[in-house]
Amino acid sequence: MSTPLYLPPVPQLGRIDIHSHLLPRIDDGCEDVNQCIDCIRQLKEAGYTGSICTPHIIPNMFPDNTRENIIRWVENLRIELVNRNIEYTLWPGGEINLQENMPDWLTEHGVPTLAGSNCVLMDHWADIWPDWFPTVIQWFLDQGYQPILAHPERMRCCWDQPDGLDQLLDMGVWLQGNFLPITGEEGYEPDQLSRRYIENQKYKLMAMDMHKPQSIPSRFDGMKIVLTEYGNQLLDHFTVDAPRQLILSHLL
Ligand SMILES: [Fe+2]
């Protein structure tokens, strides 16, 4: 029997992370529930009150990561939190690794949108933009979904071929930046591109993309850099206001 999609109320206060690998034993994120609890403790200390769980959707690596299973796994983690008296809001989602045949797979297995909205988080790793990329993006748009490309600053094709990203922006794609690259830990280009995208107002949101507990402190360092260099108002826009707008204004 399928688990119904439950959408909890959006917390009145606090940051919301729209990109996380929080679910235990699902992908390269948390390895067990204790790691999840550790991550949530750290996130709460930084003012987060909720996360959208976005496991990798890569069918040949994680064939069980379907929309329906993710909804069930999020419900299981919610029960764990209730049993431990931990107040933290969780929603289901997914990080769809774009491939040419992904529309066929999603048609068969369902589209794991973010928190019941029409927004779809996606990533891709390419040195050069594939020819099929705009066609697959257009498939999402034609189906009524809002594509959000995760961490473009980490994609080599964005470093070398910025026109390809501009084409996607012209099509209506939103961009989600990660907090880690601006620390410089992922190299010169991601750091520089993060700053350029922030200054040119290309990011719709910024997110943690946290994996395991030990991955979180350096991402908080990135948040602090955004706070120090660009101000509290922009940081709150990325982590407080924009995620709420995404969840509340784009419900399917
Ligand atoms: Fe991710």
What pLDDT is recorded for position 50? 98
The pLDDT, as a whole number, for residue 25 is 96
CA separation for the pair 88, 182 (Å, rounded)? 27
In this predicted model, what pLDDT tens digit does every residue of 139-157 receive, in sequence order?
Answer: 999 999 999 999 999 999 9
Whether residue 41 is predicted with pLDDT greater than 90 in this model: the reply is yes
What is the Å distance from ligand 1's center to 17 Cα?
A: 11
CA of residue 54 to ligand 1 center, whole Å: 7
Banded model confidence at residue 4, pLDDT cuts 50, 70, 90: confident
Assess whether pLDDT exceeds 90 at residue 207: yes
Report how far ligand 1's centroid is from the alpha carbon of 207 (Å). Answer: 9
Mean pLDDT across the stretch 37-53? 98
We find that the CATH architecture of domain 15-249 is Alpha-Beta Barrel (3.20)
Residue 134 pLDDT exceeds 90: yes
* Alpha helix stretches (DSSP H) within the chain: 33-45, 67-83, 102-109, 133-142, 156-160, 162-171, 188-199, 216-230, 232-236, 242-249
Strand partners, 251: 117
CA distances from 191 to 69, 171, 179 (A): 35, 25, 10
- What Rg do the C-alpha atoms of the chain give, in angstroms? 17
Residue 28 has pLDDT above 90, yes or no: yes
pLDDT above 70 (res 1) = no
Which pLDDT score, from 0 to 100, does residue 165 have? 96
- As a whole number, mean pLDDT of residues 232-241 equals 98
pLDDT for position 181:
98
> What is the CA(209)–ligand 1 centre distance, in A?
5
For the chain, give the percent of residues with pLDDT over 70.
98
Asked whether the beta carbons of 55 and 65 are under 8 A apart, the reply is yes
Kindly indicate the confidence band of residue 61, based on its pLDDT and cuts at 50, 70 and 90: very high
pLDDT for residue 22 is more than 70: yes
Q: How far is CA 153 from the centre of its chain?
A: 14
Looking at every residue in the chain, the average pLDDT score rounds to 96
| pTM of the predicted model as reported, rounded to 2 decimal places | 0.96
**Confidence at 197, pLDDT banded by 50, 70, 90:** very high
Binning pLDDT at 50, 70 and 90, where does residue 184 land?
very high
How far does the centroid of ligand 1 lie from the alpha carbon of residue 53, in Å?
10
Please tell me the predicted confidence (pLDDT) of residue 126.
86
| Cα 81 to ligand 1 centroid, rounded to whole Å | 22
Overall average pLDDT of the 167-189 stretch: 97
Check residue 251 and report its DSSP letter: B
Domain boundaries, given as residue ranges, for the chain: 15-249
Banded pLDDT at 107 (limits 50, 70, 90): very high
Ligand 1 centroid – CA 171 distance (Å)? 23
Distance CA 148, CA 49 (A): 22
Parallel, antiparallel or unpaired: strands 174-178 and 146-150: parallel
CA 61 / ligand 1 centre spacing (Å): 14
Task: Provide the pLDDT for residue 249.
Answer: 81
